[in-house]
Amino acid sequence: MRFLTDDFVEFIECCAARDVRFLIVGGYALAAHGYPRATKDLDVWLMIDPENAERVVRALDDFGMGSLGLTAEDFLDPDIVVQLGYPPTRIDLLTSISGVRFDECWSNRVLVDVGEMSVGFISAEDLISNKRAAGGRGTPSSTRVRSAKRPDG
């Protein structure tokens, strides 16, 4: 599936090359689960961990953003959002999202083929939990996503 811009794919490739642990969340995750909508950015949720934070900084340098002066410590704060670029091709790096925990979402992640890579996206169920905790913003019908992804129930 190739629904991400070249810049988004390049950033993800830099993260993958550095073994950054991340999940795609937000509007692009919703699209991956069959509910595309207009979005102004790619939301990348980063695992908070000192080693992962170091890998993020190296990936940013590889991506050409080393001059921003970001440090690993910047990615250990659970309330940080780093925005790279401008809409509609902005990349938002998030260290937390509402209503879910990274380790649980990592275990539940859905791998989506993007070019030559398999990229981790938040599962439909975890995305619904996140959107509900965030007040439902950005999700026109979370219950439809759940029923569409759970044909057995």
Residues 6+ apart with CB under 8 A from 65: 84
DSSP letter at 40?
Answer: S
Residues 30, 83, 100, CA angle at the centre, nearest 5°? 45
pTM exceeds cut of 0.75:
yes
Predicted confidence (pLDDT) at residue 149 exceeds the cutoff of 90: no
Residues 6+ apart with CB under 8 A from 90: 40, 41, 42, 83, 84
Share of the chain above pLDDT 90, in %: 73
Q: Which CATH architecture has domain 6-149?
A: 2-Layer Sandwich (3.30)
Q: For residue range 70-127, what is the model confidence (pLDDT) as tens digits?
A: 999 999 999 889 999 999 999 999 999 999 999 999 999 999 998 889 999 999 999 9
Residue by residue, DSSP assigns 105-147 as HHHH-EEEEETTEEEEE--HHHHHHHHHHTTSTT-S-HHHHHH
Mean pLDDT of the chain: 87
Q: Which residues pair with 82 in a beta bridge?
A: 93
Predicted confidence (pLDDT) at residue 10 exceeds the cutoff of 50: yes
Sketch the domain layout of the chain as residue ranges: 6-149
* pLDDT for 135: 80
H helix runs in the chain, sequence order: 6-17, 27-32, 50-62, 102-108, 124-133, 142-149
CA torsion angle 150 120 97 134 (round to 10)? -30
* pLDDT for 136: 61
Residues 6+ apart with CB under 8 A from 116: none
Q: Kindly state the average pLDDT of the residues 27-38.
A: 89
Are residues 76 and 50 in contact, defined by beta-carbon separation less than 8 angstroms?
yes
